[in-house]
Amino acid sequence: MTKRVAILISGGGSNMVALVDSMTGDHPARPVLVLSNDPQAAGLDKAAARGIPTAAVDHRPYGKDRAAFEQALQAELDRAQPDILCLAGFMRILTADFIARWDGRMLNIHPSLLPKYKGLNTHARALAAGDTEHGCSVHQVTPALDDGPVLGQAVVPVLPRDTADTLAARVLPMEHALYPAVLRKFATGDRTPVFLRSGLSFPPSNA
Ligand code: GAR
C-alpha cells in the first residue's frame, strides 16, 4: 500500500522539494503534508506550489515548553495521517516522547558523514579537522541527537581551497540525491543502506 509521508522543514526546503518531486509514478509513497516550525519558511510556498498541503506551528510562542509545541505538531500530523516522517532541515530538537511515538518511522538528513560532526556547523568542522572527504547521512531518528541507524551516506571530496560555503554547496546536491533514494527503499521496508559518491575526485584521477 502507498505510504503517506509528512516532511518537516524549517527553511528553504530544498531537500523537501527533492523528496516531493521524487514521489511520483511507481514510487511507493506520496507526500501528504509539509509542516514547518517557522510560518515564514520559504519551503512552505514551494510545497504549496506543488499542490502539497502545508501547515506551520510557530515554536516561539511555546518558549521552553517543548511538549506543548510537539502536541501542536502532533495535531497537524494526526490530521494528515502520515506513515513516515521525514525531517528535512528541521532545526528543532524533538523530545524523546515525540520520537518514541514515531519510533522506526522517522528519518533525518544530516550534513556530515555520521557519526562525525553531530550538531551544527558540520562543514566548518570537517574543514577544521583537515578531512579529505565529507558528505551527508540519512538516518533513522532516535532520542540521541543525530544518532540512530544510518540508512545512507553520500561522500564528496574536500578540495584545497574549500570554505564552509563551497563545501556545503558540494554536499547539498548529494543530499538531494541521497534522501529520495533512501526514502524509496525505506517506504518498501528495505533498510539496507544506500551509498553514493560524487564523480569529483581530488587529486583528479587523470593527474
Ligand atoms: C540541509 O543541508 C540539511 O542537511 C541540514 O539543513 C539543510 C536544510 O536545507 N540539516 C541539518 O543541519 C539538521 N541538523 P534545505 O532546507 O534546503 O533542505
Q: What's the whole-number average pLDDT of the chain?
A: 96
Is the distance from the beta carbon of residue 88 to the nearest atom of ligand 1 less than 6 Å?
Answer: yes
Give the Å distance between the CA of 207 and the centre of ligand 1: 34
- C-beta of residue 171 within 8 angstroms of C-beta of residue 156: yes
**Which atom number of ligand 1 is nearest to the Cα of residue 43?**
16
The CA-based angle 28-96-142, given to 5 degrees, is 45
Please report the pLDDT score of residue 204 as a whole number.
62
Q: pLDDT for 115-156, tens place per residue?
A: 999 999 999 999 999 999 999 999 999 999 999 999 999 999
In this prediction, what percent of the chain has a pLDDT beyond 70?
96
State residue 31 phi and psi, 5-degree precision: -75, 135
Whether the pLDDT of residue 189 is over 70: the answer is yes
User: Best substitution site from 109, 134, 176 to test ligand 1's pocket, by max atoms within 8 Å of Cβ?
Assistant: 109
For residues 151-178, average pLDDT: 98
pLDDT bracket for residue 199 (50, 70, 90): confident
Active site (annotated) includes residue 27: no
Average pLDDT over residues 47-75: 98
